[in-house]
Amino acid sequence: MSLKYFFNPAAVAVIGASSNRAKLGRQILDNIIAGGFAGHVYPVNLKEKRIAGRPAYASLTDLPVRHRADYAKLLAVIAIPAPFILDEIKQGAALGVKNFIIISAGFKEDGPEGKEREVALSALAEKHHLNILGPNCLGFINTYCNLNATFAAAGREPGRIAFLSQSGAIGSAALDWLKLKDFNLGYFISLGNKAVLDENDIFAHLMGDDRLDLIVAYLEEIKDGGHFMKLVSRLAKHKPVAILKAGQSAAGSQLALSHTGSLAGSAAATRAGIERAGAIWLNGLEELFNLLMLFRRESWQNKGREDLYVITNAGGVAVLTVDEISRQGLTLGKSWDLLGDADAGRYQAALKKWLPDKKINNILVLLTPQTSTEPVKTAQAIIAASRKYPHKFIIASFLGGQTVYRAKDLLEKANIPIFDYPEEAVESFRKMISYKNSFRHLKIYHSPAVRPARPLRGTDYLRALKLLAQYKINIVPTRKYSAARPPRLRGPLVLKAVGPDFLHKTEKKAVFTDLDSGRKLRQAARQLLADHKRNFRNPKNYLVYQPQITGAQEIILGFTRDESFGPIILVGLGGIYTEIFKEVRLATADLDEKGALNLISGLKNYPILLGARGHKKYDLKALVRALVNLGRLANAHPEIKALDINPLFVGTEDVLAGDVRVIL
């Protein structure tokens, strides 16, 4: 269902409006009226006749709406106790109402009865093609049509940021913060339980809305990762999307589960998916609020050089700022110390000198209160300069407290991003620059084409190796050992036990190397068979031998399957350092050769593969192909939960899978 009339209704009915100002329904009604919404506003209350000076109606049926088509353009905001809601919606749906917000709690989050109610709600929505936001949410604000359909106070001026929150509390904290900082959103959308509408529906609606500069979402779970990546990658081609995903730690994700009742999914997979979508990754609330602050200034979009210029009246603060610029991998344009006795005039002169310079795009103004410092006048100089040069990106950090807070307030009112600490300014700026550098290369996500294959029916070692070979991942020649037959391979050999009881071969001391004669091979086999006698009663455990590979780089390749984001491919440093450095990169399984190379080149050991420092050059192309082929395998074999190749030997002329582990 289109959300056109959901977000831009011709009229709004508030079910649960009341004369009692303490009731949420009344607060919502007041907000809609005070916000200056141009359409009809209908209070709905079973008993009351007039509310807030307007006629009230007993039900949706009684509204002065004649045509079914008009009901379709109406938004019904529901703030009555949960047990009455389903009937209300049924009645509305019968009249042709399509758009609802359910503010009330008492659903999924509230025991088995609530869960049942939510299931019924979803079914109802599906049956009648309804848009329902919530339940258990704050509602939404659309400043472009002066509609504040929440019970929270908020400014009216249309802003350029859309803010989505799965947590009502974080949503209300954001609105509260924005009010203090005197700036406004374009959209505020509280997702609540996401029984019907979820983040993906909202992203789809926001697509192509040029009034927006930035979309920020706080999410606790992403149910349909594939759709999410499709939509967000399309959005991110045009404007930054930033995601704060709660539950990144095991403990946090456990807590999120008990809090929202929905599984958080694998944190690493979710991050890979969010990054694949081209979204800005946020590490916490501080980063989220700092990013909002940064995007106050529209000139973030300016093109051209990306180095950051610094004006300061304190050398020490400049040094710390430059330290942070370097830590963030940014380039310092120049740092200009106006010295401790700089008054506002000196700041003004510096800005006047730098702003006309075409090389200079981004200026961070630092101020520290000293004897001649004029914080307010300096703020005014910055504001004037920003107005004169609207395309220059000017941000500020005024250190201190008592002396500077009025000046900071002025800057906030004038939409200049102002930070308590220079580190925050630099860190947020880096996120913005990263986005600007990446969105052009971002590829819109499409679900990979899958050529279905006959499912793998067991985890037999040799069968799994054969599967790799079927997907053109070459394998080290591997033979089943039999005491009766002489070895069919030459040179130093490796003997290992494989099968369900030997998933961790090294730890089980089930690998013997340097076997350079038939005698040594037989000896090793006897010992292995003796050491693990009980295991070998199960014929699924057996011995294999392979030629020993030397002079290759060891890489780990694999995938795990995430419920939401699908197969997540992994490539990284193999061998004894796999666990030590956890030097791996993850990607979704739509990898092509370019993407695979990009992924590999992000590894710290990439220079070694490239042949740095006089070493030999390894077959990168073969590694890239193996990665792409593993993606194909992962897509074609949904029955495989996880697969590891470790080591994959990367030689100078090919790659060879040395070992494999499959989990169905």
Element (H, E) at 514: strand 511-515
Task: Name the residue with tokens 């990009």.
Answer: 598
Element (H, E) at 132: strand 131-133
Helices 199-206 & 225-236, crossing angle to 10 degrees?
30
Assess whether the previous peptide bond of 647 is cis (omega < 30° from 0): yes
Cβ contacts of residue 409 below 8 Å, gap of 6+?
182
d(C-alpha 592, C-alpha 587), whole Å: 11
Q: Which amino acid is at 301?
A: Q
Q: Give the β-pairing of 362-367 and 332-337.
A: unpaired
Binder of its own copies out of 47, 449, 579, 653 (CB under 8 A): 579
| Residues in 399-428 that interact with its own copies by CB under 8 A | 399-405, 420-424
**Span from 222-230, 249-257, 349-357, 476-484 in contact with its own copies (CB under 8 A):** 249-257
Smallest distance, its own copies to C-beta of residue 345, A: 17
How far is the C-alpha of 355 from the C-alpha of 391, rounded, in Å?
10
Would you say 251 or 530 has its CB closer to its own copies? 251
Segment interacting with its own copies (CB under 8 A) among 47-55, 174-182, 195-203, 643-651? 174-182
Closer residue to its own copies, CB minimum distance, 303 or 613 = 613
CB distance 612 to 652 below 8 Å: no
Interface residue with its own copies, options 248, 378, 428, 546 (CB under 8 A): 248
Please give the sequence-ordered ranges of beta strands (E in DSSP) within 287-435, or none if there are none.
Answer: 308-312, 332-337, 362-367, 393-398, 418-419
Which region, judged by CB under 8 A, interacts with its own copies, from 52-60, 159-167, 430-438, 483-491? 159-167
For tokens 């779970």, the residue is: 221
Binding its own copies (rule: CB under 8 A), the pick from 87, 113, 298, 323 is: 323
| Shorter beta-carbon distance to its own copies: residue 125 or 244 | 244
Q: How far apart are the first and last CA of the chain?
A: 38
Member of 62, 87, 126, 176 binding its own copies (CB under 8 A): 176
Residues 21-40 that bind its own copies (CB under 8 A): 24
Q: Which amino acid is at 94?
A: A
Distance (Å) of CA 240 to CA 167, 232, 277, 565: 21, 9, 11, 21
Q: Rounded distance, CA 113 to CA 505, Å?
A: 49
Rounded Cα gap, residues 105 and 135, in angstroms = 6
Q: How far is CA 495 from the centre of its chain?
A: 44
- Check if the beta carbon of residue 165 is closer than 8 Å to that of residue 174: yes
- The answer to whether 316 contacts its own copies (rule: CB under 8 A) is yes
Helices (H), 98-141: 111-128
Q: Find the binder of its own copies among 88, 198, 213, 220 (CB under 8 A).
A: 220
Residue with tokens 């199960």: 538
- Shortest separation between residue 260's beta carbon and its own copies, angstroms: 7
Contacting residue, 53, 180, 441, 485, with its own copies by CB under 8 A: 180
Q: What is the closest distance, in whole angstroms, from the C-beta atom of residue 254 to its own copies in the complex?
A: 8
Residue 248 C-alpha from the chain's centroid: 11
Part in contact with its own copies (CB under 8 A); list of ranges 41-49, 93-101, 166-174, 348-356 = 166-174
Q: Nearest distance from residue 358's CB to its own copies, in Å?
A: 23
Closest CB 348 distance from its own copies, rounded Å: 20
Among 604, 616, 617, 641, binds its own copies (CB under 8 A): 604
CB of 3 to its own copies, least distance (A): 24
Which of 577, 592, 642, 651 contacts its own copies by CB under 8 A?
Answer: 577
Phi/psi for 452 (5° steps) reads -65, 150
Residue partners of 462: CB distance under 8 A and separation at least 6:
478, 480, 544
CB-nearer residue toward its own copies: 489 or 608: 608
Residue of the chain from 143, 148, 260, 478 that contacts its own copies (CB under 8 A):
260
Distance CA 43, CA 45 (A): 7
List C-alpha distances in Å: 372 to 312, 343, 618.
Answer: 14, 6, 62
Residues 498-537 that bind its own copies (CB under 8 A): 506-509
- Which positions from 282 through 301 interact with its own copies, judged by CB under 8 A? 283-286, 289
326 is a site residue for its own copies (CB under 8 A): yes
Instruction: Look at residue 603 and give its three-state secondary structure.
Output: coil
Q: Which is nearer to its own copies, 573 or 636 (CB)?
A: 573
Question: From the CB of 177, what's the least distance to its own copies, in Å?
Answer: 4
Q: For its own copies, which residue of 49, 50, 327, 594 counts as binding (CB under 8 A)?
A: 327
How many Å apart are CA 365 and CA 347, to the nearest integer? Answer: 9
Sequence letter at residue 124: L
The only residue of 31, 167, 560, 629 in contact with its own copies, by rule CB under 8 A: 167
Among 369, 487, 492, 638, binds its own copies (CB under 8 A): 369
How many positions of this chain bind its own copies (CB under 8 A)? Answer: 87
Residues 120-149, mask of contacts with its own copies (x by CB under 8 A)? ------------------------------
Buried b (16+ CB within 10 A) or exposed e, 618-653: bbbebbbbbbbbbbbbbbbbeebebbbbbbbbbbee
Give yes or no for a contact between 570 and 279, defined as CB atoms under 8 angstroms apart. Answer: no
Contact with its own copies (CB under 8 A) among 144, 177, 336, 439: 177
From candidates 3, 10, 86, 255, binder to its own copies by CB under 8 A = 255
- Determine if 652 is a binding residue for its own copies (CB under 8 A): no
**Residue 599 beta carbon to its own copies: minimum distance, rounded to whole angstroms:** 17
Cβ 636 to its own copies, closest distance in Å?
A: 33
Query: One symbol per residue from 329 to 368: x for binding its own copies (CB under 8 A), - otherwise; what is it?
Result: ---x--x-x--x---------------------------x
Among 246, 351, 528, 622, binds its own copies (CB under 8 A): 246
Considering only residues 56, 325, 338, 395, which one is a binding residue for its own copies as defined by CB under 8 A? 325
CB 221 within 8 Å of CB 260: yes
Of 7-15, 37-45, 309-317, 376-384, the segment contacting its own copies by CB under 8 A is 309-317
